[in-house]
Amino acid sequence: MPLSRRTFLGQMATAGAIAATPAVLRARPQTKPIVVDAAALRARIEALSVFGRPAGGTFSDGVSRVAYSDADVAGRQFVCDLMDAAKLEPRIDPAGNIFARRAGTDPSLPPILFGSHIDSVPNGGNFDGDLGSLAAIGVIEALDRASVRTRHPLEIVVWSAEEGVAFGRGLAGSRIVAGDVKPADMDAVWNGLRRGDGVRKLGGDPERIMNAVRPKGAHHAYFELHIEQGGTLDRGKTPVGVVEGIVAIERYTATITGFANHAGTTPMADRQDALVAASHLTLAVREAVTNLPGRQVGTVGQLEVVPNAPNVIPGSVRMTVELRDLSSEKLGGIIATIRERAKQIALTTRTQIEIADLSRNPPALASPEIQGVIERASTSLGLAAVRLPSGAGHDAQMMAQLGPMGMIFVPSIAGISHSPKELTLWPDTANGANVLLHSVLAADVL
Amino acid sequence: MPLSRRTFLGQMATAGAIAATPAVLRARPQTKPIVVDAAALRARIEALSVFGRPAGGTFSDGVSRVAYSDADVAGRQFVCDLMDAAKLEPRIDPAGNIFARRAGTDPSLPPILFGSHIDSVPNGGNFDGDLGSLAAIGVIEALDRASVRTRHPLEIVVWSAEEGVAFGRGLAGSRIVAGDVKPADMDAVWNGLRRGDGVRKLGGDPERIMNAVRPKGAHHAYFELHIEQGGTLDRGKTPVGVVEGIVAIERYTATITGFANHAGTTPMADRQDALVAASHLTLAVREAVTNLPGRQVGTVGQLEVVPNAPNVIPGSVRMTVELRDLSSEKLGGIIATIRERAKQIALTTRTQIEIADLSRNPPALASPEIQGVIERASTSLGLAAVRLPSGAGHDAQMMAQLGPMGMIFVPSIAGISHSPKELTLWPDTANGANVLLHSVLAADVL
């Protein structure tokens, strides 16, 4: 009978050696490290892609598995079936999140939670969310195969409605678990669908939504494996990214009021053209963001012209300004610069510009300890790793409110995401799953 | 019995004196000149405003008398009743235009045609078109009161569907009369309405639409009294504008193709942001137009962003570019400058910009002789007049294809038009009607 994992890991932790060399490597010097079944992972990503695939399409035609859709329901059933087959007993919480638990050796310890989501944006790709969700199942199976028991219970999760596609205010299942929910949120209606009905369609219980909330400290740690959705790893040929945190996202609405007038009879000098002002402002946003060193980004993604006719001078424009960085302070400086420029633009174009707050997500920093765990797990597997921020939002961001959080990124070819062209090479998906596995094991002894 | 108008005007024309002093002033030295009934004109403009008025509104709430609407039909009936009362016999041609004729003394001469339209844009004003239509009736009545017979027959007209609101390609009744029509145009469908059915609703005959076409030389001259819809006369406190011509209108579509990508994960340096390129191009259009001296105008009035989400870098933008000037040659130079700038913008923003022709209306010049007639008529009435181009399109533009055309402008307060705020002071409407009356009389002897 092999050394019980609990005893062994306890010894290693005491010796302080766990950090330098992965436990599994030292425990079985003659064997290869425990690994996730790469072929099964690939087969499952391909199988899941069928739910929401465009009619007549193939894997590379992407997926539209929008939250609460029939495709979402079918994809979730596919995942539950996999959990059943792995002798996990999936259960659905009131928010529609799918959880499954593997007991640890110490029932008094909180679980290590890991997973992701399987809903997609319309016309999205087959890796965003799917990889982290299916790899979580693979991790449990690998531990089963190796007969490894952890001290902490392991809990895997498939979060509901991560993409925030439906309803004005995205209300991901992870956000609900983190406590940012009130019963009235279930009454929101979008495209004729009441959110509560959507949650119920997923097997959730909108009447008991507050019961989905978990307290701070509910988890020993939260891990999420995800594709980068940016080009840093792909450009650098780096297989693993250790996420430093999820950037703050600040959104503003700029409303520019000019005067709609006849495009033929109004001399150029007399115009109060809201679109001319909006053009200046769009360029000012880019300038304010790029004038500072760093990785911050800023985007004018949405812009609406009123009345929007070829022969009428635009009377008003409403546009969004989105800023992202790990530092809220830096974003504060940038929006101040933009407001200053907006004042000048309003004067020179004889328009009024009002910039209002739309939403504000604070940065969610990954725990430094967990970053170290991921980095060492990578190194132990012979995989180079770099630290980088996540420019995209993730369920991990919500979990950071409840306890230590860490994310593992794998490369996205050309950084393309939210597109059928989204692509991560199969070896990279397997690397990511293995880093997840060994990070979970390392965290178990922290 | 007074000197017959025909004989008298013939003598004046022979003597060359008509140009310097209005015939009516010299013919009746002790009396005031023939004038249009200003009170009746005002009362009729106010009465017509009821058809298409917002529920519960007043005159100053504007009008929505869109072509082919029930309000349009009712407004036209009101005008026909006025014509009947004036012993004119209105008839409706196959295009839905209302014509009414007063015989001249020489049946061999072609008519002098004058009038305007009564359809409006949605949420428009009560002077655009209405003034010229109702003043035309007032002119006939004034001549009747003064027992003046002209040599040429006088024909007044209320054109159908001038505003081009319905159907992608506006097909004003005046355009049909000018010959720019084919039977298949009647099959166009817009908002569930077949154009032929709309024309029939107005009393027209879509099956015989080609019979509405008139040949070149059909009219001795065409006059149209209209509000300026710009601010030149109001600013200059000038009661009368002598229109030099209707500007050429050239419309282009610029399609900018960048690359839609994640607004959080795509570094600023890697972006191909179609909206940043569109902003540069919008400013370049304004610059190209204002860098040259003159009264040309240029407008980006319509702009659509794809996918238009706060968190996605704009992948493509489609925008319209509209240029107007009396000189097509000048417009050719401006669009060449814009194309040159577009090439540079495409390079620096790493986007593709394609500029395609959308539509092209050549300029319609007012006849120099008719301009002189209007100018002298104004002077004779003690009204200052300036020459100016019309930046807006008018039925007169179509009539210029058939023969000599002239337009009389009166001031629009603050240049506002196509708005409930559209306003022309009552004395200015009367001045315009009197200049129309005396221009018609002067043209009769040319």
Q: What's the pLDDT at B190?
A: 77
Answer for the pair B300, B282: CB distance below 8 angstroms, yes or no: yes
Residue from A123, A165, A265 to probe the interface with B (highest B Cβ count within 10 Å): A265
Print burial letters for B247-275: b (CB count within 10 Å at least 16), e (below 16): bbbbbbbbebbbbbbbbbbbbeebbbbbb
pLDDT higher for A383 or A393? A383
Place of tokens 């005002």: B42
For chain A, say whether B125 makes contact (Cβ under 8 Å). Answer: no
Is residue B302 within 8 angstroms of chain A, CB to CB?
yes
A301 inside 8 A of chain B by CB: yes
CB half-sphere exposure, B310, CA atoms < 13 A: 20
Burial class of residue A248 in the structure, from the number of CB atoms within 10 Å of its CB (0-12 exposed, 13-18 middle, 19+ buried): buried
Cα–Cα distance measured from residue B11 to residue B18, given in angstroms and rounded to the nearest whole number: 9
Of A228, A225, A220, A233, which Cα lies nearest the Cα of A36? A225
Q: What is the mean pLDDT of residues A197-213?
A: 97
Under an 8 A CB cutoff, do B301 and A302 touch? Answer: no
Position B122 scores a pLDDT of: 85
From the number of C-beta atoms within 10 Å of its C-beta (0-12, 13-18, 19+), residue B122 rates as middle
Per 3-state DSSP, what percentage of chain B is helix, strand, and coil (rounded to 5)?
40, 20, 40
* pLDDT of the residue at A165: 61
pLDDT score for A145: 96
Given the cut 0.85, state whether the ipTM is greater than it.
no
First to last CA, chain A: 25
Nearest Cα residue to A75 out of A158, A173, A198: A158
Cβ separation B391–A270 shorter than 8 A = no
Cβ <8 Å between A251 and B310: yes
Distance CA B213, CA B164 (A): 19
Nearest to B268 among A228, A289, A303 (CB): A289
The predicted pLDDT at position B166 comes to 55
Instruction: Inspect the interface and report whether the beta carbons of B268 and A314 lie closer than 8 Å.
Output: no
Q: Is A297 within 8 Å of B266 when comparing Cβ atoms?
A: yes
Asked if residue A263 lies in contact with residue A315, where contact means CB atoms within 8 angstroms, the answer is no
Full DSSP string of A154-219: EEEEEESSTT--SSSS---HHHHHTT---GGGGG-EETTEEHHHHHHHTT--GGGGGGG---TT--
Torsion of CA B417, B418, B419, B421, to 10 degrees: 20
Tell me how far CA of residue B32 lies from CA of B12, B15, B26, B36, B373, in angstroms.
Answer: 19, 23, 10, 12, 20
A174 pLDDT more than 50: yes
Q: Is residue A281 very low, low, confident or very high in pLDDT (cuts 50, 70, 90)?
A: very high
Q: What is the pLDDT of residue B30?
A: 52
- Residue B302 and residue B251: Cα distance in Å, rounded? 11
CA B51 to each of CA B47, B71, B126, B374: distance values in angstroms, whole numbers, following the listed order: 8, 5, 10, 32
Q: What is residue B191's predicted lDDT score, i.e. its pLDDT?
A: 74
| pLDDT tens series, chain B, 446 aa | 333 433 333 333 333 333 444 444 455 455 678 999 999 999 999 999 999 999 999 999 999 999 999 999 999 999 999 999 999 999 999 999 999 999 999 999 999 999 999 999 888 999 999 999 999 999 999 999 999 999 999 999 999 999 876 555 568 999 999 999 999 999 988 778 899 999 999 999 999 999 999 999 999 999 999 999 999 999 999 999 999 999 999 999 999 999 998 899 899 999 999 999 999 999 999 999 999 999 999 999 999 999 898 888 999 999 999 999 999 999 999 999 999 999 999 999 999 999 999 988 889 999 999 999 999 999 999 999 999 999 988 999 999 999 999 999 999 999 998 889 999 999 999 999 999 999 999 999 99
Q: What is the mean pLDDT of chain A?
A: 91
A243 Cα to chain B: minimum distance (Å): 13
**Predicted pLDDT at B4:** 40
Determine contact: B273 vs chain A, CB below 8 A: yes
Whether residues B230 and A298 touch (CB distance < 8 A) is answered with no
Cβ-defined contact of B305 to A302 (cutoff 8 Å): yes
Distances (CA, A) of B435 to A310, A400, A402: 33, 78, 81
Give the model's pLDDT for residue B193.
87
Q: Which two tokens stand for residue A315?
A: 């009377």
Cβ-Cβ contacts under 8 Å, A300 against chain B: 275-276, 314
Which are the contacts of A16, defined by CB distance < 8 A and separation ≥ 6? none
Tens of pLDDT, residues B379-395 = 999 999 999 999 988 99
Tell me what the mean pLDDT of segment A49-61 comes to. Answer: 96
User: Which residue is closest to A252 within chain B, CA to CA?
Assistant: B310
Q: What is the pLDDT of residue A61?
A: 96
Distance in Å, alpha carbon of B18 to nearest chain A alpha carbon: 33
C-alpha radius of gyration, chain B, whole number: 24
Cβ neighbours for B183, distance < 8 A, ≥ 6 positions apart: B209, B210
Please, are residues B414 and B231 in contact by the beta-carbon 8 Å criterion?
Answer: yes
CB spacing of A311 vs B299 below 8 angstroms: yes
Burial class for B16, CB neighbours closer than 10 Å (0-12, 13-18, 19+): exposed
Q: Are A381 and A21 in contact (CB under 8 A)?
A: no
Beta bridge partners of B241: B386, B409
Supply φ then ψ for residue B261, to 5 degrees.
-150, 170
Instruction: State the count of interchain CB pairs (< 8 A) between A and B.
Output: 196
Q: Say yes or no for a CB contact (<8 Å) between B231 and A314.
A: no
CA-wise closest residue to B230 among B373, B434, B407: B407
Interface test with B, best of A299, A348, A357 (most B CBs within 10 A): A299
